[in-house]
Amino acid sequence: MNDLPREDRSAVVLVVDRLGAGALGPYGNTWLDTPGTNLLASQSLLLEQMLVDTPDVRRLYRSYWQGLHALCPSPSDGDQPALPAVLQRAGIATTLLSDRRAIGEHPLAEGFAQRIPLRLRRAVRPTAHASRTALARMFASVVDLMARQRPPFLLWVDVGVLGRVWDAPLAFRRRFAEEDDPEPLGATRVPKLVLQEDYDPDQLHAITCAYAGQVAVLDLCLGTLLAALDEHAARAGMLLVLTSPRGFPLGEHQRVGAAARALHGELIHVPCLLRMPRPDAALVRSQALVQPPDLCATLAEWFAQPCPAPGGGARSLLTWLAADSPPPRALAVSVLGDEMGVRTPAWYLRCPAHESPAAQAAPSGADAAPDAALRDQLYVKPDDRWEVNEVSDRCPQVARQLRELGASFHQAAHHGRLDQLPPLPEDL
């Protein structure tokens, strides 16, 4: 990889909102067949533990494009460059394709040489064929645009439609229902529900089948895109990234869709796959804790440019393929409203952020976490993937240590010293 000239390098970044890691076969899903994603995983470095630093998408995009954790204060205007502008100044063609106005008009998106808004018509009923879905129409635009790119280039594709409209054919939804199961959800409006203690499991199953149908369409589209990329003249020097800014909760903690804002795994654990033109990067899995700022550092290294935020704690994922790779990150922190999530290789703690300085930088308003009475919730990782068994009463010392680590992390973020965090205690 190091001997590949910069002018021959290109990258396609595919960011699919509301695609949780648990929805995909390479991340352990056994009931939803995803052959397109399986193929990509067989050719890629797969990061098992990508945890978003915040599910507030606008703030998370700052992490993608500046390499700053969500807890880092925003730099003054002009003091901190963004990745698209850095690459553009280096002579790399940069294009953003997005179906969301909030991303296309993001202040940091101004650094892209070309911004293409895609307005997808909302369906009022499920389509008759997968090729007519909003996802298929968007991916057709991606394939067409990608065919016109010449290296070196960065094509960033932001896909928001998975979380806005479900128009997959009913046949796709029915794949995941047994003969005696209720009919899958037939509406195109994406559900947003708080489930009561005595909720009807048939209602949740119908929603789950509908979401699975959408993911099946997405996977089909991904397979088409992979085939197009393989035929592209720049394939030999192309990096492909698939990730997501947040998952789609399906009742794991009695919340469905956007009604879930608590920092549980179904919301913050997302896929991250990197396909690189080097054989030693295929079929590689890593359990290292990674976060969205790392994507910024990865793309900067790929194009031989400096990371926009050297003190923001971002770490290139490419370095972990080297023989002298540094030790993996041992601490990942997520924030939203008055809530903080602190993750180590062995533990995960949800705790109130308002008792630490973290609340000063956490997002507020519509995206604030609703659980005002949150107490410490501790889970064993990676065994308790869905955070079912809360053990803070049995391990209060661990909970206290993690809370203190979260406060220390925030202080380091505030002062731009996330690259200077002390080693983690062995018991964490």
pLDDT, tens only, 261-320: 999 999 999 999 999 988 778 888 999 999 999 999 999 999 999 988 877 789 999 887
Name, in order, each residue with C-beta under 8 angstroms of 197's C-beta and a sequence gap of 6 or more.
254
pLDDT at 330 over 70: yes
Query: By the 8 A CB rule, do 369 and 336 touch?
Result: yes
Determine the pLDDT at residue 329: 84
Residues 372 and 312 in one domain: no
Burial class from Cβ neighbours inside 10 Å (0-12, 13-18, 19+) for residue 33 reads: middle
pLDDT at 91 over 50: yes
The pair of three-digit structure tokens given for residue 195, joined into one six-digit string = 């489930």
State whether residue 316 is helix, strand or coil: coil
**Distance between CA 318 and CA 121 in Å, rounded?**
38
Determine the pLDDT at residue 355: 45
- Residue 413 in any domain: the answer is yes
pLDDT at 85 over 50: yes
| Amino acid in the structure at residue 359 | A
The mean pLDDT of the chain is 90
pLDDT, tens only, 35-71: 999 999 999 999 999 999 999 999 999 999 999 999 9
pLDDT, tens only, 365-399: 444 444 446 899 999 999 999 999 999 999 999 99
| Total number of domains constituting the chain | 2
Segment 420-424 mean pLDDT: 85
Q: Using pLDDT thresholds of 50, 70 and 90, give the confidence band for residue 349.
A: very high
Determine the pLDDT at residue 363: 42
Residues 306 and 349 in one domain: no
pLDDT at 32 over 70: yes
pLDDT, tens only, 124-135: 899 999 999 999
Residues 212 and 248 in one domain: yes
What's the domain range around 368?
Answer: 332-420
Residues 233 and 129 in one domain: yes
The pair of three-digit structure tokens given for residue 351, joined into one six-digit string = 């705790």
Of 320, 353, 376, the last residue of a domain is 320
Residues 138 and 223 in one domain: yes
CATH at 267: 3.40.720.10
Residues 45 and 82 in one domain: yes
